[in-house]
Amino acid sequence: MKSKSVKKLLSIAGSDSGAGAGIQADLKTFAALGAYGTSVITAVTAQNTLGVSDVHPIPPSHVSSQIEAVLSDIGTDGIKTGMLANQEIINAVVETLSNYDVPKLVVDPVMISTTGARLIAEDAVESLRSNLLPIADVITPNVSEAEALIGKRIETMEDLRESARLILELGPRAVVITGGFETGPATDLVYDGVEYKAFTSARINTSSTHGTGCTFASALTVLLSEGINLFESVSQAKRFVQSSMRNAYVIGDGKGPIDHFHNLIDYNNRT
């Protein structure tokens, strides 16, 4: 038995049968970064790289039971939420977490899949806004999720800064608006209520983009749980996503997964 301690991270999210996004991406990220991941499944999606064909939400009381099972025994150094599917599940998560000390909560307000499927009921956005955001340490919307949260179009860098400020007013301690606009550089804008910082890189021309949002938020949760400050954590999480995209294999005919373990396994020399 090893005596060295390991960071424990919990992902509360949906299952992606194609394993590019959702719980599967989160657990791969936790493992690749040396942490022990646990998972609470909110919904099971029938999905591949081309699209989502079916969604089966888990009963809210069972989502609560999973959280209680993990936190009452294993505990956690940080929690990341992803697809929460509907209002009832969001409220069950918020209520159950209120019984525990949650060290770090990163909320990825998942709304639409990489392939364009809706992953949250429309009337649930209000529950995200009023019930979950106030308890979040960091929220990581992409531009379209940020637009849905504030109910306004975001077209310029100035709009982006303004939307980060409006999202912070909803209660989280910090916001990272990820990915930038559809064309042009990939810019992640961070705002902690004091300072804006933009992390910009050239957009990578690839179809391996499935699960990049999930991976970024999970990596950020690991790094924050290690006590690394927000700006440095964002910078390192962004680099992890970029190198996982650059080293991806082509899997499936659509938006393929990235390779979380590109640093770990030398596939070509495996016997």
* Nearest-angstrom CA–CA distance, 139 and 235: 15
Question: Does the footprint of ligand PXL cover residue 259 (CB under 6 A)?
Answer: no
Question: Does the footprint of ligand PXL cover residue 178 (CB under 6 A)?
Answer: no
CB 17 within 8 A of CB 85: no
Q: Which of 114, 131, 128 is nearest to 211 (CA)?
A: 114
Question: Does the footprint of ligand PXL cover residue 214 (CB under 6 A)?
Answer: yes
CB 214 within 8 A of CB 197: no
Question: Does the footprint of ligand PXL cover residue 145 (CB under 6 A)?
Answer: no
* Nearest-angstrom CA–CA distance, 196 and 175: 10
Question: Does the footprint of ligand PXL cover residue 179 (CB under 6 A)?
Answer: no
Structure tokens at 237: 């999480």
**Cβ distance to ligand PXL smaller for residue 49 or 192:** 49
Sole residue written with tokens 């019984």: 99
Bridge pairing between strands 174-177 and 8-16: unpaired
Task: Considering only the stretches 108-116, 151-159, 161-169, 184-192, report the one whose residues sit in contact with ligand PXL under the rule CB under 6 A.
Answer: 108-116
Question: Does the footprint of ligand PXL cover residue 26 (CB under 6 A)?
Answer: no
Question: Does the footprint of ligand PXL cover residue 40 (CB under 6 A)?
Answer: no
Q: Residue 84 is which amino acid?
A: L
The minimum distance between CB 186 and ligand PXL, in angstroms, equals: 15
Question: Does the footprint of ligand PXL cover residue 256 (CB under 6 A)?
Answer: no
Question: Does the footprint of ligand PXL cover residue 63 (CB under 6 A)?
Answer: no
Residues at the contact surface with ligand PXL, assessed by CB under 6 A: 13-14, 16, 21-22, 45, 47, 82-83, 110, 113-114, 119, 211, 213-214
